[in-house]
């Protein structure tokens, strides 16, 4: 495969080996590796894991071009920023993976074909490998468009990175004008994402994917979502930075897309998918109702029933009991 790939690795050899093996299967020809060096003593477990990851990288032995950049004492947010900036200084387009995102083979074909197709279409910000859509069917087409930028295995162009507004300088104006309501057209969702962007703007939290999403909304850009889930996140657990708690989509299995021949007729966000994503992945309805309760001194009986319904919908898939077979 000729499309350049960037992988960002830290101190998790047990997951990194699977990502490298995925690249081995498709014989990636151009690989960029950004490796974080822990700011700890050499005898520490983190540093020993860093050594193990280095050995995995050194074992990339098929015919390919490898560029390696190492950085010491950098947190996950700045590692992402520095790695992506370095990658797109050298390449006009490419695929981005982290050390716990394992794609199937069709992910690389999917990204490569659509990078070429939408290369000059500035309405498109990125191509996602994530969709969470193995069981739910949204469309008969090979992919859809969404307002949401999902960051577990993705591809983009230098032109999109140039538009990235890390400092979110226009957020106060967007918030005042209720720009988000025009994009997502739902007060519950607007309330949730306003809180998220407030925290990012004030540097209470630093998450690259949330700032990236803001930037794409600001620039009226969409993302491409495959009809099948093409990547597996194997990084959930105590050693993770952001994915410590397991969810229904933890370790969600992937499915191949055999043919990418049904393209959407119009470049518009799929509202059904975006609503489903907000409810089932981000859990926004629950967050919204919880905040409403906290803001009200008297607990309304209708709100209680809403909470029960939302919680039931969220936990129902986790506790399905199969009937015994006789």
Is residue 287 pLDDT above 80, yes or no? no
pLDDT digits (tens, 9 = 90+) for 40-67: 888 899 999 999 999 999 999 999 999 9
Least confident of 120-134, 151-165, 197-211, 233-247: 233-247
Contact 31, 64 (CB under 8 A): yes
Tell me the CATH number of domain 1-99, given options 3.30.70, 1.10.3470, 3.40.50, 3.40.47.
Answer: 3.40.50
Is residue 96 pLDDT above 50, yes or no? yes
What 57-62 contacts at long range (C-beta under 8 Å, 24+ apart), as own/partner pairs, is 57/9, 57/20, 57/33, 59/20, 60/20, 60/23, 60/24, 60/31, 62/24, 62/27
Is residue 240 pLDDT above 50, yes or no? no
Find the largest Cα–Cα distance for the chain. 67
The domains of the chain are located at 1-99
pTM, two decimal places: 0.85
Helices within the chain (DSSP H only): 13-26, 45-58, 76-90, 105-117, 158-162, 171-176, 179-184, 187-201, 208-218, 271-280, 284-295, 301-315
pLDDT at residue 301 in the model: 61
Is residue 325 pLDDT above 50, yes or no? no
Which whole number is the average pLDDT over 135-139? Answer: 79
Which whole number is the average pLDDT over 67-95? Answer: 94
Give me the residues paired with residue 98 across strands.
8
Give the DSSP per-residue string, 106-137: HHHHHHHHHHHHTTT-TTEEEEES----SS--
């Amino acid at each position: 495969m000729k499309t350049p790939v960037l992988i960002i690795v830290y101190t998790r050899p047990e997951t990194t080996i699977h990502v490298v093996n995925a690249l081995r299967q498709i014989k990636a020809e151009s690989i960029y590796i950004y490796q974080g060096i822990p700011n700890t003593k050499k005898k520490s477990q983190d540093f020993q894991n860093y050594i193990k990851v280095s050995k995995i990288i050194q074992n990339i032995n098929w015919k390919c071009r490898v560029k390696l950049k190492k950085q010491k004492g950098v947190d996950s947010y700045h590692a992402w920023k520095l790695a992506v900036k370095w990658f797109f200084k050298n390449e006009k387009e490419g695929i981005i993976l982290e050390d716990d995102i394992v794609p199937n083979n069709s992910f690389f074909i999917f990204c490569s074909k659509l990078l070429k197709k939408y290369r000059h279409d500035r309405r498109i910000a990125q191509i996602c490998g994530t969709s969470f859509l193995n069981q739910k069917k949204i469309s008969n087409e090979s992919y859809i468009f969404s307002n949401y930028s999902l960051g577990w295995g993705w591809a983009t162009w230098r032109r999109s990175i140039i538009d990235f507004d890390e400092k979110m300088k226009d957020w106060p104006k967007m918030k005042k004008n209720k720009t988000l309501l025009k994009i997502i057209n739902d007060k519950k969702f607007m309330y949730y994402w306003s809180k998220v962007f407030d925290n990012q703007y004030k540097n209470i939290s630093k998450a690259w994917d949330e700032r990236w999403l803001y930037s794409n909304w600001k620039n009226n850009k969409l993302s491409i979502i495959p009809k099948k889930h093409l990547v597996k996140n194997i990084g959930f657990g105590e050693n993770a930075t952001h994915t410590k708690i397991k969810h229904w989509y933890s370790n969600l299995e992937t499915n191949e897309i055999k043919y990418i021949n049904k393209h959407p007729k119009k470049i518009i966000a799929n509202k059904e998918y975006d609503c489903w994503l907000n409810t089932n992945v981000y859990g926004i309805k629950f967050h919204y109702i919880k905040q409403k309760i906290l803001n009200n001194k008297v607990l309304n009986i209708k709100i209680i029933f809403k909470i029960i319904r939302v919680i039931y919908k969220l936990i129902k898939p986790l506790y399905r009991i199969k009937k015994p077979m006789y």
